[in-house]
A and B are shown apart, each in its own frame.
Chain A
Amino acid sequence: MIEVDGVSKWFGDVVAVSEVSFSLGAGVTALLGPNGAGKSTMLRLLCGLLPPDRGTLRVLGRDPRTDLGVLRHIGLVPQQETVFDSQDALDFVRLAAVMHGVEGPDAAARAALATVELDPDDRRRLATYSRGMRQRVKVAQAIVHDPWVIVLDEPLTGLDPRQRRHMTELFHALGDQGRCVIVSSHVLDEVERFGSDVLVIAQGRLAAEGDFRAIRDLMDDRPHRLRIRTDQPHRVAGHLLAAGTIMGIEMVDDDTVLVETTDVGAFRRSVAGVARQVDAHLWEVVPLDDDLDSVFRYLVGRP
Chain B
Amino acid sequence: MTVTAPGSGAAARVRAPGSFLAVYRLMLRNQVTAGRLVAVGALGVLGLLLGAAVAASTPVDPVDAGTTLIDHYGFQVLVPVVALVFASSTLGDLVDDRTLVYLWLRPVSRLTVAAAASLAAFTVCLPAVAVPLVLAAALTGGGPALVGGTAVAALVGVVGYVGLFSALGMRFRRALVWGLVYILLWEGFVANASRTASRLSLRAYTRSVLSEYTGVGLDQASLPFAAAIAVPVVLGLVLVLYTGHRLRHTDVD
Contacts and interface: CB of A to CB of B under 8 A. Distances in A.
Interface stretch (B35-43, B104-112, B155-163): B104-112
Contacts of B12: 69, 72
Given A67-B11, A80-B253, A146-B3, A49 B104 contact: yes
Contacts of B252: 44, 49-50
Contact of A99 (B11, B13, B16): B16
19 contacts: A44-B252, A50-B252, A60-B9, A67-B11, A68-B11, A68-B109, A69-B7, A69-B13, A69-B14, A70-B11, A72-B7, A84-B99, A86-B30, A95-B23, A95-B26, A99-B23, A146-B1, A177-B3, A178-B3
Given A50-B252, A61-B9, A146-B3, A84 B101 contact: no
Interface string B89-120: 00000000111011111111100000000000
B57 interface: no
Interface string A137-152: 0000101001010000
Contacts of A69: 7, 11-14, 107
Interface residues of A, number: 43
Contacts of A222: none
Interface residues of B, number: 36
Contacts of B109: 68
Contacts of A84: 26, 30, 99, 102
Nearest to B13: A69
Interface in A57-92: 60-62, 67-74, 76, 78, 80, 82-84, 86-87, 92
A83 B101 CA distance: 10
A68 B108 contact: yes
Interface in B1-47: 1-4, 6-7, 9, 11-19, 22-23, 26, 29-30
Residue of A72, A94, A146 with most chain B CB atoms under a 10 A cut-off: A72
Contact of B101 (A49, A70, A87, A98): A49
Interface in B181-200: none
A129 to B, nearest CB: 14
Contacts of B29: 86-87
A299 to B, nearest CB: 28
